[in-house]
Amino acid sequence: MGALIEGKGLTKSFGGLTALKGVDFHLDEGEIIGLIGPNGAGKTTLFNLVSGVFHPDSGKLYFNSKNITILKPFEICRLGIARTFQIVRPFLKMSCFENTLVGIIGRNDKNGGKEERKDEVRTLLKFVGLGNREQTLAKDLTLIEKKRLEMARALATKPKVLLLDEVLAGLNPSEILQALELIEVIRTQLKMTVFWIEHVMGAIMKASDRIIVLDQGEKIKEGKAEEIVSDLKVIEAYLGESDA
Ligand SMILES: Nc1ncnc2c1ncn2[C@@H]1O[C@H](COP(=O)(O)OP(=O)(O)O)[C@@H](O)[C@H]1O
Ligand SMILES: [Mg+2]
């Protein structure tokens, strides 16, 4: 069995700035893989390539050995790759219920009637801890609730792979613990592969099977948490960060 997702030689520039330089990576089925690196390292850009928001200037992307390099976001979503955004962006004037329903309706499977879809929305909202917020408008949610809603929207598409971009940012320690439990449940109960970007080091080190480190657009290290924390190159990359 090959990798579930594989990227080869991914390069992406914006004007004169090279955000990613020849990055190779892979995700195996059922893994939780952390993506770390200082601000501007290219983490979100890698997510943008995997989710089809941008296409690489060179390099290839495969999902289940299928070349997905130049597919559009909705095509990639239908194949089973869903994501959240670093800047949360639910439909603010819609309720949590409606926001989640959008993810279900966007799916390719036409089975399931109106009542089944409603049940599914309720189950998902309960799952992410928004069971008591069904009719609340997204704009009235707290930050952690908005992030939970983003997860519900992504999960509603029934993905095989879930990409999470800094879902812990701005949360307090007990909220971080709750979010980590949710990520673990997503893997064990929903059998999804999770690729997540996180700035909260302790959390991502603890919860990931494997970690990939980007610095200035290049993959500088990959391995288990123990190998990453003791790596000099990784430490230097972070020491160079102005807000470290
Ligand atoms: N759409 C874009 N247009 C121009 N520059 C971008 C764009 N997206 C990212 N960049 C630049 O690419 C570099 C990597 O950004 P990003 O992938 O967002 O980093 P990270 O998520 O690791 O903080 C940064 O210098 C950023 O300013
Ligand atoms: Mg980012």
Mutation to probe ligand 1, out of 44, 167, 204 (largest number of atoms < 8 A from CB): 44
Q: What residue numbers bound the domain in which 236 lies?
A: 1-80+161-171+194-244
For residue 31, what are the CA distances in angstroms to 17, 36, 99, 241?
32, 16, 28, 29
- The ligand 1 atom nearest the CA atom of 86: 21
Residue 67 belongs to a domain = yes
To test ligand 1's pocket by mutation, which of 45, 53, 57, 198 has the most ligand atoms within 8 angstroms of CB? 45
Report the C-alpha gap between 145 and 136 in whole angstroms.
10
- What's the CATH code of the domain at 27? 3.40.50.300
Tell me whether residue 39 is in a domain: yes
Q: What's the whole-number mean pLDDT along residues 104-116?
A: 79
Whether 108 is covered by a domain: the verdict is no
Residues lying with their CB under 5 A of ligand 2, a single-atom ion: 43-44, 86
* Residues 45-71 pLDDT 10s: 999 999 999 999 999 999 999 999 999
Q: Could you tell me if residue 119 is inside a domain?
A: no
- Return the amino acid letter for 190: L
**Mean of the per-residue pLDDT values for the chain?**
91
Percent above pLDDT 70 for the chain: 97
Counting ligands in written order, the one closest to the CA of 42 is 1
List the one residue out of 126, 106, 122, 140 whose CA is nearest residue 185. 126
Compute, in angstroms, the gap from residue 242 CA to the centroid of ligand 1. 16
Residue having the nearest C-alpha atom to atom 17 of ligand 1: 42
Judging by DSSP bridges, how do beta strands 17-27 and 5-14 pair with one another? antiparallel
The CA angle 11-200-188, to the nearest 5 degrees, is 85
Domain-located, residue 101: no
Ligand 1 atom nearest to CA at 43: 22
Q: Is residue 78 scored above 80 in pLDDT?
A: yes
pLDDT at 80 over 90: yes
Over the stretch 178-200, which tens digit does the pLDDT of each residue have? 888 888 889 899 899 999 999 88
On whether residue 6 sits in a domain, the answer given is yes
Distance (Å, whole) CA 81 – CA 74: 10
Q: Is the pLDDT of residue 244 over 60?
A: no
| Cα-only R_g, the chain | 18
Q: Is residue 145 part of a domain?
A: no
Averaged pLDDT, 12-35: 96
The total number of structural domains in the chain stands at: 1
Q: Report whether pLDDT(213) > 60.
A: yes
Confidence class for position 214, pLDDT limits 50, 70, 90: very high
Q: How far apart are CA 94 and CA 14, in angstroms?
A: 34
pLDDT computed for residue 167 by the predictor: 87
Task: Look at residue 229 and tell me if it is in a domain.
Answer: yes
Whole-number pLDDT of residue 63: 97
pLDDT band at 243 (very low <50, low <70, confident <90, very high): low
CA of 47 relative to ligand 2 center, distance in Å:
9
Closest listed ligand to the CA of 169:
2
> Who contacts 94 (Cβ-Cβ below 8 Å, separation ≥6)?
102, 137, 138
Q: CA-CA distance, 51 to 44, in Å (whole number)?
A: 10
110 has pLDDT over 70? no
Q: How far is the CA of 200 from the centre of ligand 2 (A)?
A: 13
Residue list, ligand 1 pocket, CB within 6 Å: 14, 17, 19, 37, 39-45
Tokens of 109: 């499977």
